[in-house]
Each structure stands twice: as C-alpha cells, then as structure tokens.
Amino acid sequence: MEWLTEASGRLAGFLWGNPVTLLLLVGTGLYLTLRLGFVQLRGFRHGVALVQGKYTHPGEPGQVSHFQALSTALSGTVGTGNIAGVATAIAFGGPGALFWMWVTAFVGMATKFTESTLALKFREIRPDGTVAGGPMYTLLHGLKMKRMAWLFAFFALIASFGIGNMVQANSVVDGLVFLFPELHDNPEGRQTAALFLGVGMALLVGLVILGGITRIAKVASTIVPFMAVLYICAALIILLSNLTEIPAAFGVILNHALNPWAVGGAAIGEAIRYGVARGLFSNEAGLGSSAIAHAAARTKEPTREGLVAMLEPFIDTLIICTLTGLAIVVTGAYLDAPEEMRGASLTAYAFSINLGSGGAMVVGGGLMLFAFSTMIAWSYYGDRAAYFLFGDKAVLPYRIVFVLLIVVGATLSLELVWNLSDITNILMAAPNLIALILLAGVAVKLKNTYFREHQDKI
C-alpha cells in the first residue's frame, strides 16, 4: 500500500504541477473569454439579477431555481480549498500566488459560463420532470462522443467517493481538532470522536441526499449563505483590524507575482504554479463537475444559467479565497507561523492573531460546514454519473455506498485517497475541455442570441 500511495502521489503531483496541464486549463479559459467577448464583464450584472429571481418565468423546465442551482454548485466548490488551499498556495508559492488565483478565477468565469450553458443545451428531461445533465450529456448529444462521455462519467463517479466524500469527511475531523485541541495529542480519543462524528455525518448526509437534487438544493441554499457570511465576517474583522496594512499587502502580492527583479524568476514561477493549481482546485473551472448541478436549473434559456454559473469563481475565489489570503498576508502569518503550519493550520494561526481562540473556532467550524456542504453537492454529481453509466437502478445503491464511505473517510488516514482524487479530477477535465473547445461556437451563438433578445435588461 505504501508504494501505491507514493506512486499515486508522484503522479498527482506531476499532473497538478505540470505547466502543460495548468496552461490547458487556464488557456481554455482565456480562449473562451476572448471568443465570448469578455462575457464575465458584460453579463455580470444580469447574472446577479437572475440569482435574485428577476427575469424568470414559472413553469419552465427544470427542478431548482437559479439561486438553488448556484448554491448547490458553490457547495461543491466552496470547501477546504478556500481555507487550506489558499494557505498552501501562499506557504509554498509566496504571497504572489494569490494574484495568480485571481487570474484563474477571472478566466474561469468564462469556462463556467460555457460549461453550464452547454449543460443546459444538451441536458435530458425525463417525463416525470427530473433532469440529467452535465459534460457527459454534452459530449454524448453535442459531439456524439459516447466513449468520451462514458470516461467523464466514470472519473466523476470515482472522484465523488474521494474528493467529494472521504477526503471531506476527514476534513471535518480536522475541523474538530481545531475546535478541541486536546484531541491533537490523544490518538485514541480522536479515533473515537471521528467514529461518532462519521456516523453522525453519514446519517445527516443520508437524510439530505436520499431526497435527490430538490432536497440537496434546499439544504445547500441554507447552509452556503450562512457559512459564507460567517467566514467572510470573521475575515473582514481581521482586515479592518489591520486596515492600514492592506495597501502594503496588495503591494507585496503584486511584487511577488510580477516583479522578478525583486523576488527572482524562480519565485515568480512558484507563485504561478501554486496560485494557478490551487485556484483551479478551489473553483473547479474546467473540471465540469458543477455543470451537473447547473443543468437542473429551472429555465428554458441555456445562457441564463451560464450567466449564473460564472458567478461561482467570483464568489469562491475572488471573494472568499481573497479574504483568506489577505488575512494571512496582513497579519504577517505567512512569515511568523511555525514551519509545520502550511495548510488550514496557517489560516487558523492568522485568524487567531486578531480573534484569539475564536479565530481557530471559525476556521474549525468553517472546515466542518464547508466539507459537509461539499459532500452533499458531490453526492449529486456522483448520482448523475451513476445514472448515466448504469441507469436508474444504480442510483439508490450509489447513495447507500456514498453514505457508508463517509464513516470510512472520517476514521482513516487518507493520503492515498487524496492522491487518487487529484488524479481523477484532472482526468475528468480532459474530456470536458474537448467539449468546451469544440462546442465553443455553440455557446457563442446562444450567448449572442440571448444578449440580442434581452439587450434592454443587460
């Protein structure tokens, strides 16, 4: 097992740290940004209006509202990456990594728009009104690539058990350690707590996901705003406490991101590598996962949900990740923290500088809520992948296995699962990027038609 963990770790590191991979993901976003005429700027205000419930019509096909679809998708993207991922990027890539996270978010908005617009265009609606959509249906109906569609669904199914389940369950246990530090040096107590917490989470997640996308969306639309507001408020308190340091912090970030004469070319390279990798890992632009949730939106206009979907990277990365990163920089935590603090512990350290033990509680509680919401969102992604691969009969068994694996994830060390999850995430992206590039013209045509017909509202 050790050799498999080591080998998978090397492969995952190569795939995520490979300049070609990152260039393909970011390059696709830049290509779509240019082809769509900077839709993330032109359509931003209209996307916000749609989330607020404007310009929608009752009785349109779909299962959830724009707001609920966005909340479900954000449940999958707003997670440990916003707490641990940002800290890791800054710890290994320096403050300049935050700038490159912003770049991935900006071009990623165009990627999300395209993914979700195409998901709505090529989704399937059954006679009972339930919806199935996402990159596998885009590949199947839009490009007639049955094998590619099958590959995407297979990798999404595997990823849902890893990054969408066991890894998140383990992150909830990590959050528990932040809330109760005495468990850190008590392995037996931690294992017992993890078991009880795993069973409790399994029951809660089971109650949610057995109700399908409608119940998932209702829970997500309650949890996501609550946890986001709580975390954002805590971060804003830290920034307000260090208000005079914010301009200098932006200077440090830009200097480390763009000025090789000040920090050296190697440092710039590390900032780009970790900033892009962690940014993509956080907002999932290009992976195609969240398009599965957006496909269930109640609308007959694919462009509408595309405009809603592009708000994801804005909220996830340009707001939440930025607040985390600024808190780490303005407090000087990235310079002063002990060497072993590289992930969520670095964020907790930064928050505790101004908030004391309450800072660790916010980070610990945030980890738990973010991870729980990610589990319920990814259960739906895996659910739709299982349905695509094996039909309706596979959905209930999938949900049962998903719930049982939560207990496993809470109680095991998951380095191998992390590695396999990273690998399957990248493998999901490959067929999805093919669909985005080959069908970009369809997305452009849908966007132009919608903008022309609704130019008075945009």
Residue found under tokens 């990163």? 325
**pLDDT tens across the length of the chain (458 residues):** 678 778 887 888 788 777 788 788 889 999 999 999 999 999 999 999 999 988 877 778 888 889 888 988 888 887 777 887 888 888 888 899 999 999 999 999 999 999 999 999 999 998 887 888 999 999 999 999 999 999 999 999 998 998 888 888 877 777 777 777 777 677 787 788 888 888 988 998 888 888 877 888 888 888 878 888 888 999 999 999 999 999 999 998 998 888 775 556 667 777 887 888 788 778 888 889 999 999 999 999 999 999 999 999 999 999 999 999 999 999 988 888 777 777 778 888 889 888 888 888 888 888 888 888 888 889 989 999 999 999 999 999 999 999 999 998 888 766 777 777 778 878 888 999 999 999 999 999 999 999 999 887 77
pLDDT of residue 262: 54
Q: Which residues fall within 8 angstroms of residue 114, CB to CB, at 6 or more apart?
A: 32, 36, 306, 436, 439, 440, 443
User: How many alpha carbons fall within 13 Å on the CB side of residue 344?
Assistant: 27
| Beta-carbon count within 10 A of 436 CB | 25
Distance (Å, whole) CA 267 – CA 250? 17
Report the distance separating Cα 300 and Cα 73, nearest Å.
19
- Looking at residue 177, its pLDDT comes to 72
- The whole-angstrom separation of Cα 344 and Cα 282 is 14
Parse the chain into domains and list their residue ranges. Answer: 2-453
CATH of domain 2-453: 1.20.1740
- CA–CA gap between residue 394 and residue 415 (Å, rounded): 28
Provide the pLDDT for residue 261. Answer: 58
